[in-house]
Structure 1
Amino acid sequence: MSTKVKFEIEFPIHASPQMLYQYFGTPSGLSEWFADNVNSRGEIYTFIWDSSEEKAKVLQERPGEKIKFKWLEDGDDKTFFEFRIEVDEITKDVSLIVTDFSEEDEIEESKMFWENQINELKHTIGA
């Protein structure tokens, strides 16, 4: 089994951290840009696309700051995906940092996936 490689991408977003967090820290927010529908039962989130669905467990959450998920189907214990908000202390610029894991030869593809998703998010919030 090949090991997946961790990568991070930073996206500057013109939105307050509190507003931004609503879009990835809640099922209703996620269903506006990330999946067709998202439901949660406690710490298990179900992401639905067309006819497929995947479940993820919330590993860590700091409201207004970050949320970390683990796909339940992914057998690799070290992998997760995380949305984290960073605010520059001086300029107050807000960035969304996405951390994910991918096979080494699929990293560019994964980054493109996230760029498309975050563009969708920016479009949704008008940022």
Structure 2
Amino acid sequence: MEKIEMEFMVRSSTSVLYDMLSTPSGLSEWFADDVNIKDDIYTFMWDGSEEEARLLKKKKGEYIRFHWLDHDDEDTYLEMRIKVDPMTNEVAVIVTDFADEDDIEETKELWESQIGELTHRLGV
């Protein structure tokens, strides 16, 4: 598995953005069709299929990190981090994900599409 890190500029307040990245209602607006949480397990639903991820850690207003339960490699994760430029106050989402070497371009394209949907939902 290869680590992929992508940065996307997003015009949003950090509190609204963090809610979109970390709550079931926010995630179901742009990332999945529906999202449920039980304890620290998030269940993501897309077109009738489900994937589960364990919440590894989060810090309000800054980041959230998950580990997909169907990935054997314990070192892989999905992290969405909010970065604010101290000079310009521009807000960015930094996505860290992992993909097989053959799937890197497809994964990057998927994230570009997903973040495009996020910015659309944010109205920017």
Q: TM-score range by the shorter chain?
A: over 0.9
- Deviation track 1:50-70 (CA, whole Å, cap 9, x = no partner) reads 110010000010011100000
Distance 1:65 1:96 in 2: 10
Q: Output the amino acid matched with 1:105.
A: D
- The equivalent of 1:56 in structure 2 is 53
Match of 1:39 among 36, 40, 54: 36
Q: Output the amino acid matched with 1:97.
A: I
Q: Does 1:114 align with 2:74?
A: no
- Deviation track 1:96-126 (CA, whole Å, cap 9, x = no partner) reads 0000000112111100000000000000011
- Deviation track 1:22-48 (CA, whole Å, cap 9, x = no partner) reads 101101100001000000012100000
Q: Percent identity?
A: 52
Distance 2:121 2:67 in 1: 25
Q: Output the amino acid matched with 1:12.
A: M
- The equivalent of 2:120 in structure 1 is 123
- The equivalent of 1:74 in structure 2 is 71
CA RMSD of aligned residues (A): 0.6
Which of structure 1's runs of 4+ aligned residues deviate more than 4 A? none
Q: Does 1:9 align with 2:9?
A: no
- The equivalent of 2:97 in structure 1 is 100
Q: Does 1:30 align with 2:31?
A: no
Distance 1:35 1:16 in 2: 22
The answer for unaligned runs of 5 or more in structure 1 is none
Distance 2:86 2:58 in 1: 22
Distance 2:76 2:58 in 1: 16
Distance 1:27 1:41 in 2: 11
- Larger % of helix: which? 2
